[in-house]
C-alpha cells in the first residue's frame, strides 16, 4: 500500500509538472508512465491479484509476479530516459532496452521454477545486468557534453539501486528464502521508490531534455 500511494502521488506530480510547462517533452511522458505503471503494479499486489503462492518448491513460496511484469515495462523506460539524455544512437537505445527486458524475464522465469534450475535463470539475469552496467558506464566517457554531472548521478543511481534486486532475489522468497517475506517486501518497496521516484524526481527537477538539434552521441555505438 505504501508503494502504491508513493507511486500514485509521484505520477500525479509528474503529470502536473508536465502539463504546466511550456513544452511537454517525451521525458515528461515517460516519467509519468514509469510512476503510474508502478502504482498499478503495487495496487495489484496489495489486493492479492499480482501474487502467486508457489507450492512446487521445497517449501511454499510467495512470488510477486506483478513486480517483474512492472519492471519489464518500466525498466526499459528508465533506460530510454538515460539514452535520450545522453543523445545515444537508436541502436544503443534498442540494445539496452532489450537487455533490460531479458534481465527481468530471466528473473521472473527463475522465480517461477524450482532449484537448481531457478539459480541458472538468476545467473542469466545477473549476466544481463553486468552487460547493461558496462554499456551505461561506457556512455559516461563523454558525458560532459550531454548533461554532465546530472547524467552521471542518474546513471550511478540506476546502477546502484538495480544492484539490490538480484541480491534480494537470491536471499528472498524466489531464492533461498533466508530473508523473511515482510523484510523482503519492505526492502523491495524502498528500493523501488528510490530507483523510480528518486530517478524521476531528480530528472524532472534538475535536468531538461536535450534539444533536438544537439548531435547524437555516436561514440556509444561502438560498444554495441
Any long-range contacts for 158-163 (C-beta under 8 Å, 24+ apart)? 158/78, 158/82, 158/195, 158/199, 159/133, 161/191, 161/194, 161/195, 161/198, 161/199, 162/129, 162/195, 163/129
Q: Does residue 57 contact residue 43 with C-beta atoms inside 8 Å?
A: no
Look at 39-43, 117-121, 167-171, 206-210 and tell me which has the smallest mean pLDDT. Answer: 206-210
Tell me, what's the pLDDT at 56?
79
In contact, 88 and 75? CB cutoff 8 Å: no
pLDDT in tens, 186-214: 999 999 999 999 999 998 887 654 444 44
Residue 132's contacts (CB-CB under 8 Å, 6 or more residues apart) are 79, 96, 99, 100, 103
In the chain, what's the furthest Cα-to-Cα distance? 58
pLDDT (tens digit per residue) in 81-99: 988 888 888 898 999 999 9
First to last CA, the chain: 40
Cis peptide before 116 (omega within 30 of 0): yes
Helix (H) or strand (E) holding 63: strand 61-63
C-alpha cell at 155: 546513471
The CATH number assigned to the domain with range 44-202 reads 1.20.1070.10
**Residues 64-82 pLDDT 10s:** 999 999 999 999 999 999 8
Q: Tell me the pairing of strands 52-54 and 61-63.
A: antiparallel
Q: Map out the domains of the chain as residue ranges.
A: 44-202
24/74: higher pLDDT: 74
Residues in a beta bridge with 217: 88
Q: For position 216, what pLDDT does the model report?
A: 45
Band the pLDDT of 149: cuts 50, 70, 90. confident
CB under 8 Å to 94, separation ≥6 — which residues? none
Containing 54, the helix (H) or strand (E) segment is strand 52-54
The reported pTM is 0.86
Amino acid at each position: 500500500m505504501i508503494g502504491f500511494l508513493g507511486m500514485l502521488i509521484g505520477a500525479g506530480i509528474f503529470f502536473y509538472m508536465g502539463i504546466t510547462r511550456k513544452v511537454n517533452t517525451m521525458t515528461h511522458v515517460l516519467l509519468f508512465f514509469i510512476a503510474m505503471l508502478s502504482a498499478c503494479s503495487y495496487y495489484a499486489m496489495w489486493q492479492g491479484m499480482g501474487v502467486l503462492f508457489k507450492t512446487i518448491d521445497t517449501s511454499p513460496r510467495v512470488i510477486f509476479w506483478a513486480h517483474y511484469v512492472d519492471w519489464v515495462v518500466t525498466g526499459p523506460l528508465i533506460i530510454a530516459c538515460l539514452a535520450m539524455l545522453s543523445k545515444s544512437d537508436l541502436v544503443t537505445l534498442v540494445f539496452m532496452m532489450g537487455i533490460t527486458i531479458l534481465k527481468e524475464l530471466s528473473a521472473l522465469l527463475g522465480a517461477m521454477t524450482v532449484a537448481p534450475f531457478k539459480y541458472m535463470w538468476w545467473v542469466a539475469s545477473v549476466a544481463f545486468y553486468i552487460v547493461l552496467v558496462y554499456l551505461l558506464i561506457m556512455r559516461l566517457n563523454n558525458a560532459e557534453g550531454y548533461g554532465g554531472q546530472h547524467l552521471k548521478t542518474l546513471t550511478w543511481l540506476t546502477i546502484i539501486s538495480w544492484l539490490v534486486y538480484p541480491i534480494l532475489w537470491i536471499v528472498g522468497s524466489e531464492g533461498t528464502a533466508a530473508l523473511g517475506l515482510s523484510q523482503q517486501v519492505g526492502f523491495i518497496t524502498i528500493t523501488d521508490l528510490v530507483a523510480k521516484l528518486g530517478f524521476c524526481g531528480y530528472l524532472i527537477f534538475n535536468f531538461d531534455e536535450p534539444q533536438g538539434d544537439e548531435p547524437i552521441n555516436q561514440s556509444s555505438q561502438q560498444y554495441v
